[in-house]
Amino acid sequence: MIHSAGIITVSDRSYEGKREDLSGPGLKAFLEKNGFPVKYMEIVPDETEMIEEKLIYASDSIGLSLLITTGGTGFSPRDVTPEATKSVIEREVPGIPEIMRAKSMEITSKACLSRAAAGIRGETLIINLPGSPGAAIENLSAVIGVIAHGLDVLRAKGPMDCANGEKEKNGGK
C-alpha cells in the first residue's frame, strides 16, 4: 500500500523568510526515496495554535497517512511542537521517539534533550523530528523501516496479525 506524507516545518525564522527551510525539502527527498510521496508541505511559526491547526488540517482534511513535523522539539521557551502534537493526537506511540533518541545517542549525548512525540490522529501517524536537517534525517532513518507496516495496520480497517501483516481470521480471536 502506498502511503502519502506531509511535512510541517516549525520555525519562526523560516516562516518570516529570514532563514531558508532546509529540513522540509531534505525530508521530502528522503521520504520520497523511501516510497512515501509527499502531498503537503507547510511552514509555520512556533505558535501552538497554528501548529495544531495545520496538524488537524493535514490529518483530517487531506487524509495523509504520515505527517512529519520538523523543529520545535528542544528546550527553548518557543519550542512547543510536542505540546501541540499531544493536544491533537488520540493515541501516543512512545516507541518511535524512544528509538529515535536511542539511535541519536550513539552520535551525540545531546539527543537525550529531545522532547519529540509521536501519535495517531484518526488514520494519520504524526511524528516530531528535530529542526536540524541532519538530525531530522538521522531520526527518521531510525524508524523509516517500520513506519509502512504500522500504517498498513492502522489503515487496514480491522485486526491485523502483526507477526505476518495479514488480517486475522475470526475477528482477531
Residue 1 pLDDT level (bands cut at 50, 70, 90): confident
Write out the H or E segment, with its range, that includes residue 127.
strand 124-129
β-strands 118-121, 124-129: how paired? antiparallel
Ordered by where they begin, the domains of the chain are 5-172 (3.40.980.10)
Q: How far apart are CA 149 and CA 88, in angstroms?
A: 23
What would the pLDDT profile of 113-135 be if each residue is shown by its tens digit? 999 999 999 999 999 999 999 99
pLDDT over 60 (residue 7): yes
Residue 157 pLDDT level (bands cut at 50, 70, 90): low
Phi/psi at 136 (5° precision):
-65, -45
What would the pLDDT profile of 45-101 be if each residue is shown by its tens digit? 999 999 999 999 999 999 999 999 999 999 999 999 999 999 999 999 999 999 999
Write out the H or E segment, with its range, that includes residue 65.
none
Question: Given the C-alpha cell 549525548, which residue does it identify?
Answer: 109
Residue 15 pLDDT level (bands cut at 50, 70, 90): very high
pLDDT averaged over every residue in the chain? 93
DSSP code at position 130? -
Sheet arrangement for strand 91-92:
38-44, 5-10, 66-70, 124-129, 118-121, 91-92
pLDDT over 80 (residue 172): no
